[in-house]
Structures are given as structure tokens and as C-alpha cells.
A and B are shown apart, each in its own frame.
Chain A
Amino acid sequence: MTAAAGVRAPVRAGRIQPHARRRESGLLALVAVVLVLGSVSLGATQRQLAGQPASWLPADLGQLAIYLGALLVAHLALIMTGRRADQVLLPTIGLLGGLSLLLMERLPQALVTQSLLGRNFGLASIQLGWLLLAIAVITIAAIGVRSDSWLRRYKYTWAAAGIALLLLTFLFGTEVNGALLTIQVGPFSGQPTELIKVVLVIFLAGYLSDFRPLLVAADLRLGPLRLPPLPYLLPMLAMWAMALGIVVIQRDLGAALLFFAVFLALVYIATNRTSYVVLGLLLFVAGSVIAYQLFGTVRDRVDIWLNPFVDASGKGYQVVQSLYAFGRGGIIGTGLGAGLPLVAGRLPIPAIHTDFPFAALGEELGLIGVVAILGLYLIVIERGLRVAASAADDFRALLAAGLTLVVGVQAFIIAAGNLKLIPLTGVTLPFISYGGSSLLANGVVVGLLLALSDRGVEPPPPPRPGRGRRPAFLGGARSAR
């Protein structure tokens, strides 16, 4: 089993040699051009609306320069430390984050304000701060994580940490829009759910890679379904119960849907068995029916989804206004800063910066922009799954796939919710929505993906015998060829 490690580049001990990242350089230059053009367009529109003379200056030159500078620093840090990590992820995330910055610059700055060190900061300044922190997290994780043993060894500790975070939210959380999501510490508030999803993926990757052989061996027959022995089904049931618990305790449908979908997908990747997916979907349907019967929140969401226009000025207001925004955008959009007509001095959608940035961009960038943003997420998904498929062992494969799915599925849930394809739930649009928790958690995700993609990191430990019926799969399969 050392053959797998044998084909890899040896670990460079001690000396760090810079290594050029030409593809990343080129893509980042392209991102800079796109963002400068976007900012110039926004600036022109804003000056026109304010009745100021036209000019070619970007909307907020300082903020844009700081943001692009941070991307450049991250890029240079990866070069100087000689990292051979994926070169497409950083520019893609950079473009998504840059769109977020432009959107926040375009929205009324008073949507969010924070006083720090005697200065007052508005929406865009705060979001820029979080974006810089997220880029820092990405860079530190990409460069600093050289071994995954601390992740794989303590999987139950991670699981416990996840449940502890959940309990913390339950005990100390404050309610926002009917969901118990936020923990307030001094002037700062955070949403632990965002971190729980990362922790949970680490646990699942560890658990599934360890018990993969047992889960694959089916000796329990249930009609047409072939299932593993009952003890190994328990974690799945526990996950299902946890997802339902999130709905019950936090009334956070989006997070529950996200956790369960990622869980099912990882089980499918680990076992390659459709019967699990079918079973999972049956459990999902059963859970949904129960939740619909028991919880008014769930009933409301589903009823609004089925026909928001019935109560367009009441319960269906946000969804209807979101659809209006998409409609106003049409194919080419109104242009940054030219959409979102005010009603009595207020934006038509209250939670536009957290729950409906996709609708805002749909209006201002049009169908073309929507397709482009979807394309960016697909690039992230493609790179992440590529990292997973070429990972050195099962744990890394499942971890990379899980992290990728967290971003991809979350983007799907909120984008589809904005477009009334599925009931609306209040998850953030990764890298675009306003919010520190979301940006930092997704920064951790991308940082870990970059670290996992680095061919220079420490090779995985040899599989421990006796844990499963078969040793590690990927290495074994490869060496057998």
C-alpha cells in the first residue's frame, strides 16, 4: 500500500521554494478587469442618478483597490510558499466575492451599520472587512494545513463540537425572522449553523471512510432494498433525526435541507448504492410530511411556494417581489445600480442583502448575469469534485466532495428558492450574501479544498487493519491496475 504514496511527489522538508502559478495569475487579471468594469458601470449609474457629472471613475475606488490587493496578496503568498494547489478556485471565489462587494456598494449603506473604534461603517465597508478575513482564512488554510490527521483522527470530537454548537444556538440563540440562528456576543453576532456544516462534513468523511466496507456489504433485505446491517444504519437515522431536530429547534429549513442533502450525497459516493438514496428520500418525504403537519412555519413556506400571488402583499410578499425583480431584469438586466426601484424610499425586498442577493443580481445583471453566476458555482463544484476524485484516499475524497457539496447545494437551495423552484429557505448565497459567519465558514471550505488539492501535503496514513473488511479503496484499486 505504499505504492500510492510512491507515485506522489515526496514531501519537501524544510526549504520553501517559490513556484509560479501562471494560470491563477492570468485568471486573477481577468477577474480584476471584470470587477473594474463592473465598478465603472456602477459608478456611472450612481453619478447619473445623483445628478453628478459623468466620469470613468469606479464606484468606490478605495474599496475595490483594497479587495483586489487582498486577492493579489493571497496569490503571492501561494506562489512564495511554493504551493501547488488548484489554480482556478481562488480566482472564481475572487470574482464571486467581488460581485458581492459591488452589490453591497450598490445597496443602501444603512442596511447594516457597525460602530468600531469610534468610526461608523456601512454595509459595503463591513462586507469588505469580512471578505478580507475570508481571503485570509482561505490563504492561511491553503498554506498552513499540511496534514489532515487532526481532522481524521478526532471525528467524534468534531461531531460532538457540531452538536455542542447546535445546543449553544438553542440555548443562547436569538430569534431572527422566526428562525433561531444567531448567537450574539457583544457587538458581534454569528450563525453557528454555518460552521456546523463544515464540522459535520469532517465527521461524515471520517465515519464513512472508516465504515465504507461495512456499509457496502448488504445483508438486510427490505423488499426490493438491500440494506447494511442495522447497527450501521443508525448513523443515517441519527443524521435524519438531527436534520429534523434543526427544523424543530431552530426552525431553519434551509440548513436542515442542506445537511440532509450533503449527507445523502456523501453516503452515495461512499457506497455507490442507490438503495441508500431511495431510503434517504423516503425518510425525507416522511420527515417533510410530519414537519408540514406539525409546524406552521413549514406549512407557510410550502403554501407560499405553491402560490405566492394569493397573498402578494402579505406572506407571499418577498417571493413575489423576488420574481418581480427577476422579471424587471429580463435578459440583459438593468445594469448595476439601475434596478430595484424604491417604494417610499425603501427597497422592495427587506432581506435583499442576505436572502435575496441572487434576485438583486438577476435584476441588475439579467439572465446573462444569472447564467454567469451559476457558471461560477459550477466551476467551484467542478474543481472541488476534481480534487475529491484525485484524492489520495477515501477520507480526503469524501472530505473534498463534502466540502464542495456544502457550497454547491447551499447555492442551489437559495437560488432555487429565490426563483420559486423550491420553497424559500433562509440560507445564504455562498460568497455573495452579506454576513461574516457565512463568508468565514465558506472561506474555511475553500481553504481546505485548496489544501487538499496540494500535491505537496503530507500523504495520508496507511489504513489501519482490522477497522474494515477491506483496506483503503482508491489506492488499492489504482495499484491493481
Chain B
Amino acid sequence: MNRRDRAPIGQGIARIGIVLCLLFGLIAVGAGYWQVLRASDLSRAADNPLVIAAARDVVRGRILDETGAVLASNKKDANGEPYRVYADRSLAPLIGYASPVYGTAGLERAYNAELSGQGSPNSLDDLLSKLAPGAQRGDDLSLSLSLKLQEAAVKALGSDRGAVVMLDPRTGRVLAMASTPTFNANAIADPTTAVAAFTRTAAAAGQPFLDRATMGEYVPGSVFKIVTSVAALGSGAINASTSYAQQPAAEQTGLPVSGFRIHDGHHDFTGSLALDYDQAIEVSCNIYFALTGLRTGGAALSSWAAKLGFGAPLPFDLPTAASQVTNGGGNFGGGFKDDVELANAAYGQAETLVTPLQMALVAATVANGGVEMKPQLVTSIAGPGGRQAIQPAVLNTVMSPSVAGTIGNAMELAVESDWGRIFTSGAAIPGIDTAGKTGTAQIGGSAEPNSWFIGYAPATNPTVAIAVVVEQGGHGSARAAPIAGSLMGLWLKTLSK
């Protein structure tokens, strides 16, 4: 009989007791790890019900238009949880949605922090306090947008895909920012229909979620001639009386550039007349601007375009795509590959790509005497702490008032003169002098060209600038110019009064 046999049973029991104590101590340590060391990052995880609930229980701030009309407000569902309601379909690509299932998009996303009342960087305590009874309210946003003008813009675009951007050139404030097709943001915000509506919209033809006004990149065609004008006149490469001796002949035979012929030939009535700057704008002469582009040089064209905002996303309340005059990477100067690309870019073909917002800013800058205002949609944020107004800001002084005056004068002639009316008659507002430029952007193949118009009114002391693009809308004068004329007329004669 060895010693071990006699060991009392109590010894084993005591040892098992010690093991259990250690195991329970381990649980306490584990609890301490998760509840103290990891507590704060666990409580911030996006799928933590605390975070979701904090965002959901908050009654999002309302979004109002320039007259105080409600664009986005809230309703309560069967569980008493608020969900978003929008005033009109025309707002959808711009304002986006706040969905309990899909999160946020558009302005709802860009201003999510303010709208959900979490504007300041929040601590965990802040987050926890938001769970406290009594629904939290987000800040209200006031926009410079006019709901009625927005609705009219979407209606004017009709079943076409396209975009309209209208600004006050003096302040940069957005009056309308339409993108078609639109979608039903109410159905995506409503928890009962969110999944079906989102799936349907995401698969729909024409990419309704894409806000074409800020993110759409289009070949500009002739509206880009205003950018070339800014560079050429601003750099002194040409002046208002500059004309090119070879231009009339080139209308017939094409302009040879490094063995490549640039053709025009859509204004036979100018005959053998060597056009000056105003006339070139009036009849939208491609040869004149190809020659102007070559005379200005690629580096100057690129750098003057950059002064207008090309080459980088525009500073705005929403994300924007960057506009470009060239793909860059070329060694010819300013990123151009060669003089052929430069000559073509100068009248808005080649690799030029622009957003409607950028082109509206170009028109607004000319209208505002060369001073480009920062585009602005949100004019004030009102919360429990009071109302914070957002003042207009100068983005860049692009050119001298005299250069802007030269360009503006030509744009006015383009709408109001006998020659101009052949191309741009639809933009004219009865009783109000209007300035503008059409564009017919070839997009390759046999597809109808994109129809463009940029401009402003009244020609003296302008208060509204506009860019309109209608995808495959044909000639600028056919589709975009009449839309611009009617919308500016509606604003100047009715809505702004």
C-alpha cells in the first residue's frame, strides 16, 4: 500500500476547487478584457446596435429650399422609428437618400454628421447619451436650391438623360441641379420597401444613382470654346480683332495640322470672310479655335483651364468629378500628346471631358467679370446651438473684367445677333438680353451628338448662369438651348421675383 492510496479524498476535492477558482478568475479576466480594454472600439463598430440605434433614433434634420419649402423631412414607421420622406423625385440624384438598410447617399451622405446631430467628433459618452430617452434631433440644412426651378429643370429634360446646373454667378449659389433619370428616394428610405426599391434602381437603365451634374463627364464640344477664349484672351495670345488669313480657305479644304485635316464647313454663309473673335463665337467656327488653341499653346490652355477648376475635383458640398482638357502624360506641353490633340481640344473634342457643374462655373465666371465664386448648395445649418450661415466665397479671380467683357460680349452676340440666332435662337429670353454658347459634342460612332448650352442672363448684370447637357440630344440649338432659355426665363421672370 503506497502513500498515494491513503491520500484523503478531500485533497483531490480541494485541488478541483482551486482549478475551478482559477477558471472563474479566467472568466473575470476575459470579461475585463472585453468590458474595459476593448469596450470603446467594440462600441464604435459600425454593426454595433448601439451605433445603428444612435443613428436611427435620431430624427434627422430637415432639408429646406431657398424659400423654406421642405425638401426632406421624416415620418415614423410602425415601430416608432423615424424614416426619411422627400418632397420630389427631381431631388433624388442630388439629395440622395438616408436608408435604414443602405445607409446614405448624396447630400444626405455628405452632411450625414450634421443631419444626424453628430456634427462634432463624438466621444463614446456622446454616443451613449444619444440613446437616452427623448429623440435626438439633427441639424436642419437650408439650401440655395429652388424646388420649383429644380422640378422645372427635370421636367424640361423629360425622358432624356442629361443634367442642368443653374447658379447665381455673383455668389456661386446653386439654384437648380438636375440629373435625369431620377429615382424614387422615398421608396429606398422607407424600411418596408427599401430592399426592392434599391435593387430595382441599381439595375435600372441610365444609372439613376449617378448625379450627372457633379459626376457626369461629358465631351463638351463647342461650349469648351469659352475655356479656350479665357486662355487665349487672358494670356494675350489673341484679342477681339484677331483673325486668321487661312481660316476661310480651310473651311473648304480642312485645316492641315501635322498632316491631319481639321474640318468645319457648317457656316457656308461666311464665305471668304476671315472671322474675328466675336464672329467666330457667333458662328462657332472650329477652324478659328483650332488655330487659336495652337497659337495659345498647350501649356497655357491647360494652366488657364486649371484656373477655372479643371484638373481636380471642384470644391463643393458634394463629391465632384474632375474635368480635363487632356488625358495628360503627353510631352507636347500642358499634357497634350501633339498639336493635333491640342487643335481638336481647343474646340472641345479630343480628350476634353467636363462636368456640367464645371461648365456652369465657366459661364458664371464670365458673367461675374472674371471672378469665379465657389459653388455652394448649403447656405446655413441650424441646430440647437443656433444658425450657422455659410457665406459665399471667391474661388479664384480667373481673368480681368475686360477679358470677361470681351467673351461676354461675344456670347451675347451668339444668342442675340442675326448670325448667332441661326445656332442659338432657342436660348433667347423674350425681353431679357441673354448670353450663351451652344455645343454639339460628337461622341463617336453613329450616335447622336450630345447637346450642350452654357450661358447667363441678363447679359448686363447677370443673376443666373446655366449649363445644360442632353445626352444624344442632337445639335446644341435643338435641345439644350431652348431648355436653358425657358429655365432662365422662369427664374428671372417668375421665381426670383
Contacts and interface: CB of A to CB of B under 8 A. Distances in A.
A348 B49 contact: yes
Q: Is the interface of A mostly helix, strand, loop or mixed?
A: helix
B43 to A, nearest CB: 5
B348 to A, nearest CB: 48
Interface stretch (A60-68, A183-191, A290-298, A415-423): A415-423
A370 B79 contact: no
**How many residues of A sit at the interface, in one of the four size bands?**
35 or more
Given A324-B42, A366-B35, A374 B20 contact: no
A419 B42 contact: no
B31 A397 contact: no
B26 A416 contact: yes
B30 A397 contact: no
Contact of A331 (B9, B23, B36): B36
Given A324-B42, A371-B31, A416-B26, A273 B4 contact: yes
Given A370-B35, A421-B26, A327 B79 contact: no
Contact of B35 (A312, A327, A398): A327
A336 to B, nearest CB: 15
Interface in A307-321: 312-313, 320-321
A345 B79 contact: yes
Interface in B472-491: none
B6 A378 contact: no
B4 A324 contact: no
Interface in B12-68: 12-17, 19-21, 23-24, 26-28, 30-32, 34-36, 38-43, 45, 47-50, 52-53
B384 to A, nearest CB: 21
Given A268-B16, A327-B39, A477 B50 contact: no
A323 B34 contact: yes
Contact of A326 (B9, B23, B35, B41): B35
Given A328-B43, A362-B35, A408 B13 contact: no
A447 to B, nearest CB: 20
B11 interface: yes
A26 B310 CA distance: 82
| From B5, B40, B43, B52, residue with most partner A Cβ within 10 Å | B5
B20 A381 contact: yes
A94 to B, nearest CB: 20
B20 A370 contact: no
Nearest to B80: A345
Interface of B: prevailing SS = helix
Contacts of A348: 49
A409 B34 CA distance: 22
Contact of B11 (A272, A320, A324): A272
Interface residue tally of chain B, by bracket? 35 or more
Contacts of A303: none
Contacts of A207: none
Interface in B47-96: 47-50, 52-53, 79, 81
B13 A362 contact: no
A398 to B, nearest CB: 8
Given A330-B36, A415-B27, A323 B16 contact: no
A222 to B, nearest CB: 18
A470 interface: yes
B32 to A, nearest CB: 6
B333 interface: no
A317 to B, nearest CB: 9
A216 B81 CA distance: 67
A210 interface: no
Contact of A378 (B13, B24, B38, B49): B24
Contacts of A88: none
A389 B45 contact: no
Interface string A90-130: 00000000000000000000000000000000000000000
Contacts of A273: 4
Contacts of B10: 389, 397, 474
Contacts of B15: 268
Contact of B21 (A51, A323, A378, A401): A378
Nearest to A389: B10
Given A272-B4, A378-B20, A389-B14, A371 B131 contact: no
A342 B47 contact: no
B49 A473 contact: no
A356 to B, nearest CB: 13
Nearest to B10: A389
Contacts of A216: 4-5
A238 interface: no
A164 to B, nearest CB: 29
B5 A394 contact: no
B191 interface: yes
A234 interface: no
B124 to A, nearest CB: 9
Nearest to B27: A415
Nearest to A327: B42
A269 B9 contact: yes
B181 interface: no
Interface centre among B1, B23, B32, B34 (most CB of A within 10 A): B34
B375 interface: no
Given A378-B20, A385-B16, A477-B6, A330 B48 contact: no
A341 interface: yes
A206 B40 CA distance: 51
Nearest to A50: B133
B35 A330 contact: yes
Given A416-B30, A421-B27, A327 B21 contact: no
Contacts of B205: none
A270 B53 contact: no
Given A270-B12, A477-B8, A416 B27 contact: yes
A16 interface: no
A327 B4 contact: no
A219 interface: no
Contact of A419 (B31, B40, B43, B79): B31
B34 A419 contact: yes
Most chain-B CB neighbours within 10 Å: which of A213, A272, A420? Answer: A272
Contacts of B26: 416, 421
B203 interface: no
Q: Which of A48, A217, A330 has the most CB of B within 10 A?
A: A330
B133 A341 contact: no
A3 interface: no
The CB with the most chain B CB atoms within 10 A, among A51, A270, A345, is that of A345
Interface string A264-286: 01001111110000000000000
27 contacts: A49-B133, A216-B4, A270-B9, A272-B7, A323-B42, A324-B49, A326-B35, A327-B43, A327-B48, A328-B42, A329-B39, A344-B79, A344-B100, A362-B35, A367-B32, A377-B24, A381-B20, A385-B17, A389-B10, A389-B13, A389-B14, A408-B20, A412-B24, A416-B26, A419-B31, A473-B9, A474-B10
Given A331-B35, A367-B31, A477-B8, 9 more contacts: A217-B5, A327-B34, A327-B43, A328-B39, A330-B35, A370-B35, A412-B24, A473-B6, A474-B8
Give me the 8 closest cross-chain CB pairs, A-B, nearest first: A327-B42, A269-B12, A341-B53, A345-B79, A419-B30, A389-B10, A326-B34, A348-B49
Interface of B: 1, 4-17, 19-21, 23-24, 26-28, 30-32, 34-36, 38-43, 45, 47-50, 52-53, 79, 81, 100, 131, 133, 191
